[in-house]
């Protein structure tokens, strides 16, 4: 069983879409995505610097668009498809499109709304996030609770992302839990926490007008690592996760339970395959960073079908 996974915010880098624009039809599709999301994705993915594409309302549509472009290129280049999909944070929108729960149009419109709503929520109060690497999980969680910080991402492989006020994040970095490294993240706010509650309501209103189909592929939710069989449930979970922790650790544990034999991460790739190499040792991975990586991905798919 080969799973396609889609990364979240922070995986983008300046110019990363440039090689994809060399494929037939990609520029036109990006133009359509730009209209749907309300962001100039061609300029963002090829010309804008790191600061501009770090902006939440830019980064989120950019990442989903890249995932959709690379997913389409993958299924066009292979006679064998992944049998399951999952997405980390905003990558879950891409996963829902890949699984047939949402249309591309609905996915890009929702991610545009999501990005703007989360940027607006982040502007209400100075908040931030930091990756906590290593250490005993119980000790880490106790320290976060003492600082009134939320474990926003359980990424597995000994990594938890904390989120909360900037003052608390600064204190965490100054006095990290024993045996850990704390790396402050360059983000606009405390995503996947109570601070994003206004964005949840905005996205819920937008999602009410969207038709959700049942998934055609095995679909994992990062709310608890379970598989979802109803499109309406998948959409509800997608909305709620804006203010809820991302349980990517549970997704990877579920991959193991389902006998996943390979993982293909779509563009902008690298983050999730890195986590998988630590948490799912021995499971082959391919990071599709550019069209040059499609051959390795199709080879993994062909091997997984044998």
How far apart, in whole angstroms, are the C-alpha atoms of residue 27 and residue 45? Answer: 11
Q: How many CB atoms lie within 10 A of CB 27?
A: 12
Q: What are the tens digits of pLDDT across the range 245-291?
A: 999 999 999 999 999 999 999 999 999 999 999 888 889 999 999 99
Same domain (yes/no): 115, 155: no
Q: What are the tens digits of pLDDT across the range 148-176?
A: 999 999 998 889 999 999 999 999 999 99
User: Looking at residue 233, what is its pLDDT?
Assistant: 97
Q: Are 49 and 79 in contact (CB under 8 A)?
A: no
Last residue of a domain, one of 160, 185, 210: 185
SS3 assignment for 190-218: CCCCHHHHHHHHHHHHHHCCCCCCCCCCE
Which CATH number do you get for residue 147?
3.30.70.250
User: Looking at residue 10, what is its pLDDT?
Assistant: 80
User: Looking at residue 79, what is its pLDDT?
Assistant: 86
User: Looking at residue 305, what is its pLDDT?
Assistant: 47
Same domain (yes/no): 198, 56: yes
Same domain (yes/no): 218, 269: yes
Same domain (yes/no): 256, 229: yes
φ/ψ of residue 144, rounded to 5: -65, -40
Contacts of 43 (CB under 8 A, 6+ apart): none
- Catalytic residue flag (residue 128): no
Same domain (yes/no): 51, 168: no
Q: What percent of the chain has pLDDT over 90?
A: 89
DSSP 4: E
Same domain (yes/no): 100, 154: no
How far apart, in whole angstroms, are the C-alpha atoms of residue 155 and residue 147? Answer: 20
Low-confidence ranges of the chain (pLDDT < 70): 304-306
Catalytic residue, candidates 11, 128, 168, 192: 192
Give me 292's structure tokens: 């040059």
Q: Are 159 and 144 in contact (CB under 8 A)?
A: no
Last residue of a domain, one of 136, 162, 185: 185
- Stated pTM of the model: 0.93
Count of structural domains within the chain: 2
Same domain (yes/no): 51, 165: no
| CA 23 remoteness from chain centre | 24
Half-sphere exposure in the Cβ direction for 141 (13 Å, CA): 8
Give me 141's structure tokens: 């969680």
Same domain (yes/no): 158, 25: no
Same domain (yes/no): 29, 104: yes
How far apart, in whole angstroms, are the C-alpha atoms of residue 220 and residue 262? Answer: 15
Catalytic residue, candidates 89, 168, 244, 254: 89
Same domain (yes/no): 143, 291: no
DSSP 224: T
User: Looking at residue 304, what is its pLDDT?
Assistant: 56
Same domain (yes/no): 111, 197: yes
**SS3 category, 261:** coil
Half-sphere exposure in the Cβ direction for 139 (13 Å, CA): 11
Q: Are 7 and 273 in contact (CB under 8 A)?
A: no
Range of the domain at 241: 2-122+193-304
Which CATH number do you get for residue 203?
3.40.366.10
Q: 287 forms bridges with which residues in the sheet?
A: 265
- Catalytic residue flag (residue 192): yes
Same domain (yes/no): 214, 162: no
Q: Are 67 and 86 in contact (CB under 8 A)?
A: no
User: Looking at residue 205, what is its pLDDT?
Assistant: 95
How many angstroms separate the most distant Cα atoms in the chain? 53
């Amino acid at each position: 069983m080969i799973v396609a996974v889609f990364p979240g915010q922070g995986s983008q880098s300046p110019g990363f879409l440039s090689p994809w624009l060399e494929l037939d039809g990609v520029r036109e599709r990006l133009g359509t995505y730009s209209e749907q999301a309300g962001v100039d994705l061609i300029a963002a993915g090829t010309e804008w610097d790191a600061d501009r594409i770090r902006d939440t309302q830019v980064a989120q549509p950019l990442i989903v668009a890249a995932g959709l472009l690379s997913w389409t290129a993958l299924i066009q280049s292979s006679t064998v498809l992944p049998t399951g999909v999952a997405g980390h944070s905003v990558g879950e929108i891409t996963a829902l499109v890949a699984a047939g729960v949402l249309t591309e149009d609905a996915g890009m419109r929702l991610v545009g709304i999501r990005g703007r709503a989360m940027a607006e929520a982040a502007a209400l109060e100075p908040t931030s996030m930091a990756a906590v690497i290593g250490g005993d999980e119980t000790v880490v969680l106790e320290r976060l609770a003492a600082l009134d910080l939320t474990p926003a991402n359980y990424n597995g492989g000994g990594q938890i992302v904390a989120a909360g006020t900037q003052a608390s994040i600064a204190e965490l970095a100054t006095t990290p839990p024993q045996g850990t490294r704390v790396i402050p993240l360059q983000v606009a706010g405390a995503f996947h926490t109570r601070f994003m509650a206004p964005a949840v309501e905005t996205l819920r209103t937008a999602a009410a007008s969207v038709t959700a189909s049942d998934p055609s592929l095995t679909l994992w939710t990062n709310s608890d690592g379970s598989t979802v069989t109803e499109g309406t449930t998948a959409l509800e979970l997608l909305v709620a996760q804006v203010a809820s922790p991302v349980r990517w650790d549970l997704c990877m544990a579920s991959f193991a339970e389902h006998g996943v034999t390979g993982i293909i991460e779509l563009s902008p790739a690298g983050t999730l395959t890195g986590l998988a190499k630590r948490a799912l040792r021995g499971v082959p991975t391919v990071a599709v960073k550019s069209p040059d990586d499609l051959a390795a991905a199709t080879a993994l798919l062909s091997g997984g079908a044998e």
